[in-house]
């Protein structure tokens, strides 16, 4: 199954991954907005699955994820691998990449047990330094531009994903494994999308992400979901497929009915930028953009590049969506206050020299 319209809850890693681990929107958990730790009163997907008897593992190349921001909660095995392009010989074989070694080891050690493995890699993340064998794309003038390097990174990610699939098949697990492939945020390149990069404001390019699911016997090969869905729906989907009760705190909805081509309720989807004053609301083909009090409206079916703001000719739609966004934010503020009612003051995240070096390499620290 692949979803043509899947949306990330935020424009960068920390709030988005926290949502995938907790089933809670960034406007409620606040991690990556004005907090840095998952609320103690929340429960993570890994904790739920471990309690249900699954061996849980996290393999991450991103220094912002486990164990930072408390994203290691519930994982039996945590491997914070080095970023592939750092200190990796240009001619290194795919199996030499630290993340590949890490997830291979986990699968081999746990092939005879029920397991939950979360793999976070950075092949398509800036500064775009794929191995030479993946320098495949060139512009018409023969030079490599930023988008070419980005496409190279996607090819690299695809190749490493094929290694994971091959390992599952080798271990006899492929026909019994729910595999979910997604990105925690998008990437923009055009000036009208805020310029190159992610984070910042929730332009469509920064929150429109891939979502692919594989589960033989339940999800038909080649099934394409046209409905708008979101990463917030992934945690309840996993639990519902495993027949594990979904916690009341989860704000998404299971996508399982879509696998049987059954309709689901058409829902509004909310995305937040790097600042809480930046929001987007997706409703059907409408993409409502709220930027520090200024509203814009785009028809993302006719104008996926967000070139034409049609707010002026659709004032009634703008008023309706603005009202819905304000109501949503009020609701989220109430939920956030309740979730953190008994919180103690946060202790700062410890960033050692090695983590700082990785953050610098990824463009997070200048």
Q: Residue 3 gets which letter from DSSP?
A: E
What end-to-end distance do the CA atoms of the chain give, in Å? Answer: 39
pLDDT interval class at 4 (50, 70, 90): confident
DSSP letter string, 251-314: -S---HHHHTT-------EEEE-SSTTEEEEEETTEEEEEETTEEEEEETTT-TT-----GGG-
pLDDT interval class at 246 (50, 70, 90): very high
Measured CA to CA, the distance from residue 61 to residue 123 in angstroms comes to: 10
What is the pLDDT at residue 128? Answer: 86
- Over pLDDT 70: what percentage of the chain? 87
pLDDT digits (tens, 9 = 90+) for 314-347: 999 999 999 999 999 999 999 999 988 867 666 6
What is the pLDDT at residue 356? Answer: 65
Average pLDDT, stretch 217-240? Answer: 93
| Residue that wins the pLDDT comparison between 40 and 347 | 40
Measured CA to CA, the distance from residue 234 to residue 116 in angstroms comes to: 14
Q: Does 360 have pLDDT greater than 80?
A: no
Contact 258, 227 (CB under 8 A): yes
Q: Does 66 have pLDDT greater than 70?
A: no
Contact 350, 359 (CB under 8 A): no
What is the pLDDT at residue 316? Answer: 97
Question: Among 86-90, 137-141, 210-214, 256-260, whose mean pLDDT is lowest?
Answer: 86-90
DSSP letter string, 137-162: ---TTS---HHHHHHHHHHHHHHHHH
Q: Does 142 have pLDDT greater than 70?
A: no
What is the pLDDT at residue 130? Answer: 85
Q: Does 82 have pLDDT greater than 70?
A: no
Degrees, nearest 5: CA angle 25-27-28: 70
Contact 294, 314 (CB under 8 A): no
Q: Does 366 have pLDDT greater than 60?
A: no
- Which of these, 55, 97, 94, 96, lies nearest to 78 by C-alpha position? 55
Domains in the chain, start-ordered, CATH in brackets?
2-343 (3.40.720.10)
CB atoms within 10 A of CB 141: 6
Instruction: Output the average pLDDT for the chain.
Output: 88
Measured CA to CA, the distance from residue 63 to residue 106 in angstroms comes to: 20
What is the pLDDT at residue 308? Answer: 95
pLDDT digits (tens, 9 = 90+) for 94-133: 677 888 999 999 999 999 999 999 999 988 888 888 888 8
CB atoms within 10 A of CB 27: 24
Measured CA to CA, the distance from residue 202 to residue 190 in angstroms comes to: 14
| Residue that wins the pLDDT comparison between 4 and 276 | 276
What is the pLDDT at residue 47? Answer: 97
Q: Residue 10 gets which letter from DSSP?
A: B
Degrees, nearest 5: CA angle 182-183-189: 140
What is the pLDDT at residue 36? Answer: 84
């Amino acid at each position: 199954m692949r979803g043509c319209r899947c949306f990330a809850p935020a424009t960068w890693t920390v709030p988005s991954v926290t949502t995938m681990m907790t089933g809670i929107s960034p406007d409620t958990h606040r991690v990556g907005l004005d907090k840095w730790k998952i609320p103690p009163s929340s429960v993570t997907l890994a904790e739920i699955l471990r309690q249900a008897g699954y061996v849980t593992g996290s393999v991450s190349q991103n220094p912002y994820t486990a164990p930072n921001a408390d994203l290691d909660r519930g994982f039996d095995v945590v491997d914070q691998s080095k970023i592939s392009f750092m200190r990796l010989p240009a001619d290194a074989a795919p199996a030499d990449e630290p993340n590949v070694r890490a997830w291979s080891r986990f699968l081999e050690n746990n092939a005879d047990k029920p397991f939950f493995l979360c793999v976070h890699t950075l092949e398509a993340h800036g500064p775009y330094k794929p191995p030479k064998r993946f320098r495949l794309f060139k512009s018409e003038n023969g030079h490599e531009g930023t988008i070419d390097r980005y496409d190279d990174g996607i090819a690299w990610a695809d190749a490493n994903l094929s290694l994971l699939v091959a390992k599952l098949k080798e271990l006899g697990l492929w026909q019994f494994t729910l595999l979910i492939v997604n990105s925690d945020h998008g990437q923009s390149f055009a000036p009208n999308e805020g310029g190159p990069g992610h984070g910042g404001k929730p332009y469509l390019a920064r929150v429109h992400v891939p979502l692919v699911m594989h589960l033989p016997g339940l999800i038909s090969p080649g099934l394409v979901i046209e409905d708008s869905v979101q990463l917030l729906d992934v945690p309840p989907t996993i639990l519902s497929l495993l027949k594990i009760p979904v916690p009341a705190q989860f704000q998404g909805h299971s996508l399982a009915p879509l696998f049987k081509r059954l309709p689901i309720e058409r829902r509004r989807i909310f995305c937040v930028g790097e600042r809480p004053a930046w929001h987007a609301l997706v409703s059907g083909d409408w993409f409502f953009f709220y930027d520090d009090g200024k509203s814009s409206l785009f028809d993302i079916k006719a104008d996926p590049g967000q070139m034409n703001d049609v707010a002026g000719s659709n004032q009634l739609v703008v008023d309706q969506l603005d009202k819905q966004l304000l109501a949503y934010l009020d609701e989220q503020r109430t939920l956030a206050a309740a979730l953190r009612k008994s919180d103690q003051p946060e202790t700062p995240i410890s960033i050692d020299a090695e983590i700082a070096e990785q953050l610098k390499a990824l463009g997070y620290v200048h």
